[in-house]
A and B are shown apart, each in its own frame.
Chain A
Amino acid sequence: MQWSEDGIVLGVRRHGETSAIVELMTREHGRHLGLVRGGAGPRLQAVLQPGNRVAATWRARLDEHLGSYSVEGLRLRAGAYLALPHALYALTHLAALARLLPERDRHPHVHDALEAILDHLADRRAAAALVVRFERMMLAELGFGLALDRCAVSGETEDLAYVSPRTGRAVTRTVGAPWHDRLLPLPAVLAAEELVLEASDDDLVEAFRTTGFFLARNVFEPRGVPLPDARTQFLNAALRRERAKTPAEA
């Protein structure tokens, strides 16, 4: 068995003294693991960092084997994000979300979305908008998609302001008003078809509150685990405070 494809590094686990088991997100082969000989060595360590794009060739005798990768770096983005806490937390959180997908299950949309997000992690607000959209996409990929295109009661498509925590369907401001304290907020950054990069911090916090509720209830709690710590740390770093100065800037 052999195939070659580009992939995004999601995680690396040291295997023995010199090798590493690398987890890639590929377009055609989904989330796919493989052994990289020499992957823990200094030559490949810079390449095998989460977020980097690599050209990979996977080989195994049988399809169900772990197999081995030979990799070459294509876009080594991780190094540029080392000084940006929100970007590092986002990398960890995105990888944790992608890890929810079954291994070797093809999810081209997730791959493409990840690739797009990883190019825009430097801008904290754009990163937050992209990550919350990715969370919504992951809910859909895992079978818990939110129906946010029209009001569940009136069918209207304008002025959608709330999401029902029970059904995950949107309602308009007028319809939801009597129960607004029991409904989840639906800011434009989450509802809009097109990506909204100019969202305010408050809108982004509300959007994360809504996706966080459904992620926790439908995805993480049934698995017996809490929402990833990296998600909270990402929100703190990206939305709730100004960027800390680096020692060089201080």
Chain B
Amino acid sequence: MSAGPEIERLIQLLAKLPGLGPRSARRAALHLVKKRDLLMAPLTAALQTAMDTVTVCEVCGNLDSRNPCTVCADPRRDPSIIVVVSDVADIWALERANAVNSRYHVLGGTLSPLDGVGPDDLTIDALVGRAHAPEVTEVILALDATVDGQTTAHYITDRLSDAKVRVTGLAHGVPVGGELDYLDEGTLTTAIRSRTTMG
């Protein structure tokens, strides 16, 4: 390609973003250059602001421009419940669903021997410390329904055995829109075991 080194550099960086390959990065770069005032300048400013202000919350591991984050500092949040998630994206998903009005704790991943992720690589010690606070009565383990996710959940349950909290996990079963014929045996078994009374 005969574009200058600046545009080449822009394309290379954009191609590192999730969802963008070299071809789509080239399209995005071209679009940015064409919409210099409308898009490129505000995007540059937004990136710089985010770079300067967004930090990891020292309490829960959430990303925010405040530290402690907006969730941790919100007095309307129920301080007695901590929802444990593996990643910040999970907080955003739960907040979108408006499912809980509590505090969170981001582990930073799940235990994964294949990827070399052990307990020391996650923020489990910090969670155990938070769970021992007198106002905390329940820890909800909102982790993936995968072998790694649930292994992490059981490990945390063990670590919280001496904390005076109720440790709960998310239910596993038939998702909305799920057809029984396409579900795996494990999900169906769990769904039958966790059946609820109708009406």
Size bin of chain B's contact surface: 20 to 34
Contact of A82 among B115, B150, B157 (CB under 8 A): B150
Stretch of A43-51, A104-112, A165-173, A175-183 lying at the B interface: A43-51
A144 on the interface (CB 8 Å rule)? Answer: no
- Interface residues of chain A: helix, strand, loop or mixed (majority): mixed
When the two chains form their complex, are residues B150 and A17 in contact, meaning their CB atoms are under 8 A apart? no
- The docked-state distance in angstroms from the alpha carbon of A46 to that of B146 is 8
Given contacts A75-B185, A78-B147, contact A228 B113 (CB under 8 A): yes
When the two chains form their complex, are residues B184 and A237 in contact, meaning their CB atoms are under 8 A apart? no
When the two chains form their complex, are residues A244 and B157 in contact, meaning their CB atoms are under 8 A apart? yes
Contact mask for chain B residues 132-166; partner A; CB cutoff 8 A; 1 contact, 0 none: 00000000000001110011001101100000001
B26 on the interface (CB 8 Å rule)? Answer: no
When the two chains form their complex, are residues A49 and B147 in contact, meaning their CB atoms are under 8 A apart? yes
Chain A residue at minimal CB-CB distance from B18: A17
In the complex, what residues of A have CB within 8 A of residue B169's CB? 246-247
When the two chains form their complex, are residues A88 and B147 in contact, meaning their CB atoms are under 8 A apart? yes
Contact mask for chain A residues 55-99; partner B; CB cutoff 8 A; 1 contact, 0 none: 000000000000000000101111111110100110110011000
Chain A residue at minimal CB-CB distance from B169: A247
- Interface residues of chain B: helix, strand, loop or mixed (majority): helix
When the two chains form their complex, are residues B147 and A91 in contact, meaning their CB atoms are under 8 A apart? yes
Which 9 interchain pairs have the tightest Cβ spacing? A79-B186, A85-B154, A76-B184, A11-B114, A80-B186, A82-B150, A247-B168, A88-B151, A46-B184
User: Residues on A close to B: CB < 8 A?
Assistant: 11-13, 17, 23, 45-47, 49-51, 73, 75-83, 85, 88-89, 91-92, 95-96, 228-230, 233, 236-237, 244, 246-248, 250
User: Residues on B close to A: CB < 8 A?
Assistant: 18-19, 113-115, 118-119, 145-147, 150-151, 154-155, 157-158, 166-169, 172, 184-187, 189-190, 194
* Given A13-B114, A13-B115, A79-B145, 20 new contacts (CB under 8 A): A11-B114, A51-B147, A75-B185, A76-B186, A79-B189, A80-B185, A80-B186, A80-B189, A82-B150, A83-B150, A83-B172, A85-B158, A88-B150, A88-B154, A95-B114, A96-B113, A233-B155, A244-B157, A247-B166, A247-B167
- Cross-chain pairs A/B with CB under 8 angstroms, 16 sampled: A46-B184, A46-B186, A76-B186, A77-B185, A78-B147, A83-B150, A85-B158, A91-B147, A92-B113, A92-B147, A95-B114, A96-B113, A229-B119, A236-B158, A247-B166, A247-B168
